[in-house]
Chains A and B, each alone.
Chain A
Amino acid sequence: IGHPEIFPLVFTTKTQEIFNCRVDEDVTEENCFKLIKKEDILQDLKTRAAVSDFHPVKKVVLEYPGEELLVVFDAKFQYGQNFYFVASEEAKENLLKPPETAEEKEEKEEDREETLEVHPYKPPVQKPWVSLGSEKEVEEESVKNKVIKIKYMISRVRRKFGAPITFTDKNASHVKDSYIECTSYQDKTYSIKMLEKDVGIQMVPKVREACTQTKWTYPKNAATQYFPRQLSNEEKEESLASEKLKEFLTSVHLRMEIALQQNEIMNAFFDDWKALAEDESSSGGKPDVYLKAYQSFTDLRYLKDRTISCVCWHPTIYGIIAVSARQRLSYEEQANLSDKSLLQQSVILFWSFFDPVHPQIMLECPEDISCFHFSPSDPNIIAGGCINGQVVLWDISQHEEKLQNAKTDADGIKVTAVNMANASILYMLQYIYTSPSLTEVEQSSTEPPLVRYCAVSSLQYSHKKPVTDIHWLPDYFEDNRMGATFENRAEICVQLVTCSPDCSVFFWDIPATKRPEQPSSEKVKEKDIFYMPPDVPDTSKHLDLCWKPLTKINLRESDTNREYAPVRISLRELHYHYKTSEKVQSLNTLEVPAKESLYTEMTTPSSKNLKALESISTSFFVGTEDGEIVYSDWKMEIDSDSAKPHTQKYTIHTETINTLQRSPFFKDIILSVGGRNFAIWKEGITNGPILQSSCPAGRYTAGQWSLTRPGVFFIGRDDGNIDIWDLLKKTHEPSHFQNISESMITFISPWIASSKQHFLAVSDDLGVLRVLEICQTLSDPARNEHATVLDYFEREVKYLKSREQEFQEYQEFQ
């Protein structure tokens, strides 16, 4: 609706009569179309002019092309009036024939579909432009030249073109400011006043930055000191007695007990999966060689025809191992000790890993040394026992630096030769002081420095037979003359225990000394004092040759008067830790340090103030020459009522015991090796050994526990084999054996150099020291190995006890 060709009209009754379109007579709702001739309308317009109903559409009627005009009765007032007038032929046709056309169209479409006529292509027909008023806008916006352009014509006389030009000079200084210019001036003809300007404006919000600072100081706690609140005793008693506490405990204790029980039953957080993995990784992959050869040391001059009697690792310095040599004597010669050849000097050699050919230091010994040990508190003090019964002390503090720099020494000899030519004097001097002096270096390349002993015990009071075992007593207790143990305040190992086949065990004391201030004249008078060469430290000078043992213990059974000839001794409290000397770190490289041993600076502690230690166990095991193991106590029992025979004797081995060693993991488990078998004992179990080996082909000559695995120990044989026993795998035969040398193994010593390097030093009868590296499987303990081995020992103990019981019952039965 809003058709441009429809014009609503009001037909008065008069008009209706004229044109025969009276409502409800000529035209009805259904039959609403009425065609009126144009001429009639025009006539009506003429006759009635303004009154005529057709007046508003007069123009349309005049312009109407056709003959007849359509007037439609609008019963519903669709267009606002009761009639409407259609202004175009087209619309007329459409209105008159819509249903017909619709039907016709449908028919036509159906026809079309059936026949599929191809419509010829009609190119678009050009239609005349119908202006809709847009030309005005276009005209307004288009740019046209409004201003008339000014034309100039410039002319010049012809003859002036190409004429010669004359220049004149002008002095620049005459003119003011020495330059000429053509100044600009304002020409009035060109002043245009701008009356109107087209300017674009944009609105932007104004932004401004501003900041302020506030000073907010508030008190903050820098430090707090507090002490806990505590109830007084009465208040505590009061609360304990109160009813509330009782109620609380009754309500709470059940929960607590459940939780405690849960923990006892099983460990809820145990990761089985991870534990399984650990087992696999440790047992997987058996190595070919359990003990890999690492280094071997031998010396042709000093160790010719000699056997190594004892091997000891330096406790603190990596890679230093000391070896004592002894004449290779047969059993009879050893027993008599009459025929001794003094041609060869007895020495203890120090080897370093970095120099397998030259020993680092040699310790001079009065006689052949059968055993020696480093002092745990000061690794520069070494105590050794000779084959004539004397005890010897050395102090190698002067050479400690050399041992520490053993690595650089090996390279140092070559480097100094090169540097001497190039280096400046200062550098050379410095170099000389950092490594030992050139003269010493030269000497060391041919011969290691010889260190004399600083103390030897007196011949009268020493053992009568060779000292076969020597140990330092741990630093937390010391004995006095009465045999009671006292606390050792100085924390230095000052006591030794030695044993010898002359049936005695001696305790030696290295008492404190003040710096000797004796004038030299006095020294000369005393005959006993041995002449000290200048390079020997004056440690324990006063002890020299008048050193007496502190206590002597005779191993003699009182009732049978049997004497025991101890060859090895093992004290219970023999666990000590090695302390590094702090002095080493504070070395000044430009000075040759004059070190003082700890021993010269001590003052004698008064024994009155020392605490008597009750808890230290004074029992010990002794292995004898005849193959017996004796278990006894050195503390003298004042109270003789409780006279229990605290001396036990076991005869398992047939020959001399050569090793008696406590396990580093279990304080009461002892390994004894002698003759054709070895045995493991537990202190306190008096029936017999826990484990005893069967008789093998050869003899066992050395034995040692492993330092890292509680169930592993090494046994050396006389055919040069080492048997590795692993108690977790097999207890009736060695889990592995390996041949190390051709001759008898004399000593085994394990050592932990670092977490990855575990060494086993094996010495043999020919004077060769071999250092072997223990493979990972032998050095890493299995998970829970300690507990498993402990379990094993306990099982064996139970078995022994049950056997004993059965035996007793059997006897009673008989």
Chain B
Amino acid sequence: AEVEETLKRIQAHKGVIATIVINAEGIPIRTTLDNSSTVQYAGLLHQLTMKARSTVRDIDPQNDLTFLRIRSKKHEIMVAPDKEYLLIVIQNPCE
């Protein structure tokens, strides 16, 4: 219901290629991409997010990771972490 609405809204943004929701263990729950790509993105980004989070917390234990953006030649991968879930959005920013 609301969940669907929010995800649809995000997906409807300009340039968004895919939206993936994965749980704390890295298993995809909801995705708009095909299965093999989803699984690949989920595994890799989950590990990267864990690493980034531990880095931030090592430097300052009071701090925590709020957002992770990876900009590549072709598109931009945005990861919003949380305690139990991870939201991944892949967007193509330029024309």
Residues of A within 8 A of B (CB): 228-231, 236, 239-240, 244-246, 248-253, 255-257, 259-261, 263-264, 267, 269-270, 787
Residue of B3, B28, B91 contacting most chain A CB atoms (<10 Å): B3
The CA-CA distance from A469 to B43 in the complex, in Å, is: 56
Check if A249 sits within 8 Å of B3, measured CB to CB.
Answer: yes
B contact residues around A787 at 8 Å (CB): 95
Contact (Cβ within 8 A) A264 B66: no
Known pairs A231-B27, A231-B29, A245-B85; A263 contacts B43 (CB<8 A): no
- The distance from the CB of A494 to the nearest CB of chain B, in whole angstroms, is 34
Report yes or no: B93 in contact with A267, Cβ–Cβ below 8 A.
yes
- Tell whether A239 pairs with B29 under 8 Å between CB atoms, given A245-B3, A246-B3, A253-B6: yes
* Chain A residues within 8 Å of B13, by CB: 257, 260-261, 264
Q: What are 8 A-to-B residue pairs whose CB atoms are below 8 Å?
A: A228-B43, A229-B26, A246-B2, A257-B10, A260-B16, A261-B13, A263-B76, A264-B93
| Known A255-B80, A267-B94: A249·B29 in contact at CB below 8 Å | no
A260 touching B78, Cβ below 8 Å: yes
Please, which residues of chain A bring their CB within 8 A of the CB of B30? 236, 240
In the bound complex, what is the Cα–Cα distance between A382 and B81 (angstroms)?
61
Q: How large is the interface on B (under 10, 10 to 19, 20 to 34, 35 or more residues)?
A: 35 or more
- A236 CB contacts on chain B under 8 angstroms: 29-30
Given the known inter-chain contacts A252-B87, A267-B94, please indicate yes or no for A259 contacting B78, CB distance below 8 A: yes
**What residue of chain A has the Cβ atom nearest to residue B42's Cβ?**
A228
The listed residue (B27, B66, B91) touching A255 by CB distance below 8 A is: B66
Query: Known contacts A248-B82, A252-B82, A261-B13; can you find 17 more A-B pairs with CB under 8 A?
Result: A228-B42, A230-B27, A231-B23, A236-B29, A240-B30, A245-B3, A249-B87, A253-B6, A253-B9, A255-B66, A256-B78, A256-B80, A256-B89, A257-B10, A257-B13, A259-B69, A260-B13
In chain B, positions 36-95 with a C-beta closer than 8 Å to chain A are 39, 42-43, 66-67, 69, 71, 76, 78, 80, 82, 84-85, 87, 89, 91, 93-95
Interface majority SS (helix, strand, loop, mixed), chain A? helix
Chain B nearest Cβ from A249, distance in angstroms: 5
Q: Are B71 and A269 in contact (CB under 8 A)?
A: yes
Residues of A within 8 A of B82 (CB): 248, 251-252
Q: A710–B43 Cα gap in the complex (Å)? A: 42
Most buried by B among A230, A255, A260: A260
Separation in Å of the B88 CB from the closest CB of chain A? Answer: 10
A residues within 8 A CB of B67?
Answer: 255, 259
Q: How far is the CA of A230 from the CA of B43 in the complex (A)?
A: 11
Interchain CB contact under 8 A, A264 and B14: yes
Q: Chain B, 1-40, contact with A by CB distance < 8 Å: what is the 0/1 string?
A: 0110011011001111000010101111110000000010
A253 cross-chain contacts in B, Cβ below 8 A = 6, 9-10, 87
Chain B: minimal CB distance from A248 (Å): 5
Q: Which residues of B contact A251 (CB under 8 A)?
A: 82
Residues of A within 8 A of B6 (CB): 249-250, 253
**In the complex, A269 Cα to B71 Cα: how many Å?**
9
Cβ 8 A contact of A252, one of B14, B26, B28, B80 = B80
Q: Chain B residues near A239 (CB, 8 Å)? A: 23, 29
Specify which chain A residues have a CB less than 8 angstroms from the CB of B10 in the assembled complex: 253, 256-257, 260
Beta-carbon nearest neighbor of A256 in chain B: B80
B29→A264 contact, CB < 8 A: no
Contact of A248 among B15, B26, B71, B85 (CB under 8 A): B85
Residues of B within 8 A of A267 (CB): 93-94
In the complex, what residues of A have CB within 8 A of residue B85's CB?
244-245, 248, 252
Chain A contacts for B69, CB-based, 8 A: 259
The 3 closest A-B pairs by CB, nearest first: A263-B93, A228-B39, A252-B80
Give Cα A471 to B3, complex, Å. Answer: 54
Q: B7 and A263: CB pair below 8 A?
A: no
Look across to chain A and name the residue whose beta carbon is closest to the beta carbon of B95. A787
Contacts of A230 in B (CB 8 A): 27-28, 39
Q: What B residues does A250 contact at CB under 8 A?
A: 2, 6
In angstroms, Cα B91 to Cα A257, docked, is 11
CB distance from B72 to the nearest CB of A (A): 10
User: Shortest Cβ distance from A518 into chain B, in angstroms?
Assistant: 53
Report the separation of the CA atoms of residues A637 and B89 in the bound assembly, to the nearest whole angstrom: 44
Closest to A249 in B: B6
Distance of A252 Cα from B68 Cα, bound (Å): 12
B53 → chain A closest CB, angstroms: 15
B80: A residues at CB distance < 8 A: 252, 255-256
Instruction: Report the Cα distance A264→B94, complex, angstroms.
Output: 8
Q: Are A263 and B15 in contact (CB under 8 A)?
A: yes
Nearest to B25 among chain A residues (CB) is A229
Give Cα distance in the complex from A62 to B39, angstroms. Answer: 120
Q: CB < 8 Å: which of A231, A240, A260 contacts B89?
A: A260
In the assembled complex, the Cα of A239 lies from the Cα of B21 at a distance in Å of 10
Bound-complex Cα distance A259 to B80 (A): 10
Which listed residue, A228, A231, A249, touches B7 by the CB 8 Å rule? A249
A245 to B82: give the CA distance in the assembly, Å: 10
Residue of chain B at shortest CB distance from A269: B71
Chain B residue numbers with a CB within 8 Å of A255 are 66-67, 80
Give CA–CA (A251, B43) in the complex, Å.
23
Q: How far is the CB of B21 from chain A (nearest CB, A)?
A: 8
Instruction: Flag if A264 contacts B3 (CB, 8 Å).
Output: no
* Complex CA–CA separation, A263 to B77 (angstroms): 11
User: Which residue in chain B gives the minimum CB-CB distance to A229?
Assistant: B27
List of A residues within 8 angstroms of B71 by Cβ? 269
Measured between C-beta atoms, what is the minimum distance from B79 to chain A in Å?
9
Measured between alpha carbons, how far is A239 from B25 in the docked complex, in Å?
13
Contacts of A252 in B (CB 8 A): 80, 82, 85, 87
B84 CB contact (under 8 Å) in A244, A261, A269: A244
**Would B3 and A240 count as touching, CB distance under 8 A?**
yes
Instruction: A291 to B26: give the CA distance in the assembly, Å.
Output: 60
| A261, B10: Cα distance in complex, Å | 10
Residue pair B39, A256 in contact (C-beta under 8 Å): no
CA distance A292 to B67 in the complex (A): 57
CB of B41, distance to nearest CB on chain A (Å): 11
Are A256 and B87 neighbours in the complex by a CB distance under 8 Å? yes
Q: How far is the CA of A255 from the CA of B28 in the complex (A)?
A: 21
Chain B residues within 8 Å of A256, by CB: 10, 78, 80, 87, 89
Is A264 a contact partner of B15 (Cβ separation < 8 A)?
yes
Complex: how many Å from CA A240 to CA B93? 29
Which of A246, A249, A251 is packed against the most chain B CB atoms within 10 Å? A249
- Distance in angstroms from B52 CB to nearest chain A CB is 15
User: Which residue in chain A gives the minimum CB-CB distance to B89?
Assistant: A256
Q: How far apart are the CA atoms of A256 and B71 in the complex, in Å?
A: 15
User: What is the bound-complex CA distance between A346 and B94, given in angstroms?
Assistant: 55
Give the Cβ gap from A710 to chain B, nearest Cβ, in Å.
15
The complex places the Cα of A228 from the Cα of B91 at a distance, in Å, of: 25
Residues of B contacting A245 with CB < 8 Å? 3, 21, 29, 85
